[in-house]
């Protein structure tokens, strides 16, 4: 059984696990290539996520719509001829370059499915999604949608863009790897800063302060620890090296391709802000320190970790100033971490608020069942 995956950055983490763990043949095509082919038929101002749905359906010039749909049908038919694909899988419900593919899938009776890589957890992002879809009058016209969490499922349903029968909560295959982690963690040699330099985090000044702190502490390092800044993408890695050249001179590694679960489990201290990587760190014994000053003092509805939440305070430590951050990192990095069973249980509870973590099956198993069930219905 073969499935065509419309691949994007970060989605590949889940696809890698699905390839290793299931008997489905997951075939890739870059959405960038798919986009470039369609651009001559779509004016630049209409190449917008979510909003293109109505444009294609009601407003587009008929000749351009016909070209898009003719291309999408021919593309899928050739994929069927060459690879025998039984379904198409995307990373989100509303990418503009995939709307024509959805229409062609319906016409050819090929299930269009989404394994959603966006996880809507904070009140702010949930409200934004609901309002965005309502204003855009967006409707998801694929047949199935798998999401990471109950909060994301509720957001989609409240928006009216997705029907209850379409949506399943499966968790994320990328977190299945934690099932295979050794009970005895490797030596905790890293002090890790999860980058929050990108504009989306709204805290560039605080990140600069923390990055400079890492540079100073690493330069004075005498305990054999490894200081590292973990980036999400290669272009962010290049930007940090340009903006903070002193990190390299102090011996701080800046990496985007290091394996995140292994890095987190090998860390004594993990520092970061409003990131799912910090959520993932809850699955380790490492100390987690979050800045809580300046630009990092957002409204409680905008943060993954609210300082006012009792469970959050049990699981992570907030630094109210750069000076407190420095003191905490020095103290916490002085010796390997010892985490009690109760603290691990509470951290698992906090993780499960943000991401569904199946107990008796892996997320890859749930997604395999989800995909096969929709393929079976299409063939019935």
Task: Map out the domains of the chain with their CATH numbers.
Answer: 2-172+358-379 (3.40.50), 180-354 (3.40.50.2000)
Q: pTM to 2 decimals?
A: 0.90
Which two structure tokens, joined as six digits, stand for 343?
Answer: 């603290």
Q: In the block, which residue shows the tokens 């050794």?
A: 182
C-beta atoms surrounding 349 within 10 Å: 13
Helices (H), the chain: 11-21, 31-38, 52-54, 62-83, 99-108, 123-136, 150-159, 204-219, 234-243, 246-249, 260-265, 276-281, 310-315, 322-332, 341-354, 363-379
- For each of the chain's 380 residues, which pLDDT tens digit applies? 999 999 876 678 899 999 999 999 999 998 889 999 999 999 999 999 999 999 999 989 999 999 999 999 999 999 999 999 999 999 999 999 999 999 999 999 999 999 999 999 999 999 999 999 999 999 999 999 999 999 999 999 999 999 999 999 999 999 999 987 766 667 789 999 999 999 889 999 999 999 999 999 999 877 789 999 999 887 788 889 899 999 988 999 999 989 999 999 999 999 999 999 999 999 999 999 999 999 999 999 999 999 999 999 999 999 999 999 999 999 999 888 888 899 999 999 999 999 999 988 999 999 999 999 999 999 88
Q: What is the pLDDT of residue 30?
A: 87
> How far is 105 from 183, CA to CA, in rounded Å?
45
Angle subtended by helix axes 99-108 and 62-83, to nearest 10: 60
Q: What is the pLDDT of residue 222?
A: 74
Q: What is the pLDDT of residue 232?
A: 86
Which positions ≥6 away from 118 have C-beta within 8 Å?
92, 152
Q: CA dist 17 to 20, 24, 263, 276, Å?
A: 5, 12, 18, 18
Which positions ≥6 away from 169 have C-beta within 8 Å?
146, 147, 148, 149, 150, 152, 153, 356
Q: Is 202 left (phi over 0), alpha (psi -120 to 50) or beta?
A: left
> How far is 137 from 127, CA to CA, in rounded Å?
15
């Amino acid at each position: 059984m073969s499935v065509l995956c419309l691949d994007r950055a970060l989605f590949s983490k889940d696809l890698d696990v699905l390839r290793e763990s299931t008997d489905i043949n997951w075939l890739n095509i870059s959405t960038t290539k798919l986009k470039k082919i369609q651009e001559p038929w779509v004016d630049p101002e209409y190449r917008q996520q979510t909003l293109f749905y109505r444009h294609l359906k009601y407003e587009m010039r008929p000749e351009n719509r016909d070209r898009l749909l003719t291309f999408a049908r021919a593309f899928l038919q050739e994929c069927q001829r060459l690879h025998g694909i039984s379904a198409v899988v995307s990373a989100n419900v509303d990418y503009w370059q995939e709307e024509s593919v959805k229409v062609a899938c319906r016409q050819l009776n090929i299930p269009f499915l989404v394994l959603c890589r966006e996880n809507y957890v904070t009140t702010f992002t949930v409200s934004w999604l609901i309002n965005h879809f309502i204003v855009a009058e967006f409707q998801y016209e694929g047949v199935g949608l798998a999401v990471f969490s109950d909060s994301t499922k509720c957001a989609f349903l409240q928006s009216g863009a997705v029907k209850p029968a379409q949506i399943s909560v499966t968790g994320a295959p990328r977190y299945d790897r934690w099932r295979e982690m050794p009970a005895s963690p490797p030596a905790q040699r890293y002090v890790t800063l999860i980058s929050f330099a990108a504009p989306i985090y709204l805290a560039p000044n605080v990140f600069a302060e923390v990055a400079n702190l890492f540079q100073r502490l690493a330069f004075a390092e005498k305990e054999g620890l490894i200081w590292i800044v973990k980036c999400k993408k290669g272009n962010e890695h290049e930007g940090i090296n340009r903006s903070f050249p002193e990190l390299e001179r102090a011996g701080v590694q800046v990496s985007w391709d290091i394996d995140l679960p292994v890095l987190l489990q090998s860390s004594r201290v993990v520092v970061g802000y409003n990131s799912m990587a910090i959520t993932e760190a809850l699955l380790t014994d490492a100390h987690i320190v979050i800045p809580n000053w300046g630009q990092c003092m957002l409204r409680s509805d905008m943060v993954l970790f609210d300082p006012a939440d009792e469970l959050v305070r049990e699981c992570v430590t907030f630094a109210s100033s750069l000076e407190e951050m420095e003191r905490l990192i020095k103290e916490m990095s002085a010796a390997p971490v010892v985490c009690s069973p109760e603290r691990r249980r509470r951290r698992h509870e906090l993780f499960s608020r943000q991401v569904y973590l199946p107990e008796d099956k892996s997320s890859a198993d749930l997604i395999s069942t989800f995909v096969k069930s929709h393929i079976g219905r299409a063939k019935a």
